Amino acid sequence: MNRKEIILKHVIKNGRGIEVGSSHNPIAPKKAGYNVQIIDHLDKSSLIDKYKDHGVNIANIEDVDFIWNGESYSDLTGRTNFYDWIIASHVIEHTTDLIGFLNDCSNLLNENGILSLAIPDKRYCFDHFRPVSGLSRIIDNHLNNQKIHSAGAVIEYFLNATSKDGKIAWNSSTTVNPQFSCVHNLDDAKQALNNIINNQQFYDIHEWCFTPTHTLLILQDLLNLELINLHIIEHTPTIGHEFFITLSKIKTTPQVERHNLLKQCKKEAWSF
């Protein structure tokens, strides 16, 4: 299966759907016949402006139905318990409040609804040198109702984002003597620091860094702590620079023992 087929595996084409942050790369486009509405924190013209110099096809950018500005997705859409599916490809790592995002999605979904996630593997993208995200900040950001990325998170991102051999995403194959370069410079970081402190400016950055098993562990822990109510129903290992997880309110598979996931996480942490 290719990435689109994996993400769409549990999606009913004429069911009611939401794609969050579809941007220039929608998985379930309106023009392909999907019964879909788009949530993004930017409107269509701002997305075109943002991506016009990125070498991507801006003609794929869809009309944004709901422009998110920090409210709950149920308040934003006027819906609860309504949608059959939600797709979020390369979005959860951008959220300021991961738990809030998952709960927002859960509230939009009906009892059988699914949330299909594509997630960049931090080992194979510009987050390569950053540590995986721990539960501490994930929980604290939720309890603090974090609406913009904190100065610390933005600085961590700006100073540590790197390209490898000129690319911001790659795969697990090893190259001889790879050339890593910092994507941003100190001046970018200082400017961001000032803009956040003085103007509360929103920077769209990767708040969270994930690898596959570590993400399963985080999701399982959040569920067991009753901070979320979504169960993992399917997941893949990394393909290229991303992996895929599908969640649902209905439990279909047993949980993996925590210590076994921890052992796997340790292997994963040293496997690049």
Question: What is the number of the residue whose Cβ is closest to ligand SAM?
Answer: 21
Minimum Å gap between C-beta 89 and ligand SAM is 3
Residue among 49 and 204 whose Cβ is closer to ligand SAM: 204
Residue among 154 and 265 whose Cβ is closer to ligand SAM: 154
Give the binding range for ligand SAM (CB under 6 A) out of 74-82, 91-99, 164-172, 180-188: 91-99
Q: Is 242 in the site for ligand SAM (CB under 6 A)?
A: no
Minimum Å gap between C-beta 194 and ligand SAM is 23
Chain residues 133-162 in contact with ligand SAM, contact rule CB under 6 A: none
Binding mask 47-76 for ligand SAM (x = CB under 6 A): x--------------------x--------
Using an 8 Å Cβ cutoff, are 126 and 163 in contact?
A: yes
Closest by CA position to 19, among listed 107, 120, 115, 97: 115
Pairing of strands 231-235, 66-67: unpaired
- Separation CA 71–CA 57 (nearest Å): 30
Q: Is 23 in the site for ligand SAM (CB under 6 A)?
A: yes
Q: Which of 10, 17, 40, 86 binds ligand SAM (CB under 6 A)?
A: 40
* Cβ count within 10 A of residue 179: 10
Minimum Å gap between C-beta 37 and ligand SAM is 12
Chain residues 182-211 in contact with ligand SAM, contact rule CB under 6 A: 204
**Nearest-5° Cα angle at 2, 29 to 63:** 15
Burial 218-237 (b: 16+ CB within 10 A, else e): bbbbbbeeebbebbbbbbbe
Separation in Å, CA 105 to CA 48, 97, 123, 219: 25, 12, 27, 14
Residues that bind ligand SAM (CB under 6 A): 20-23, 25, 39-42, 47, 68, 89-91, 94-95, 204
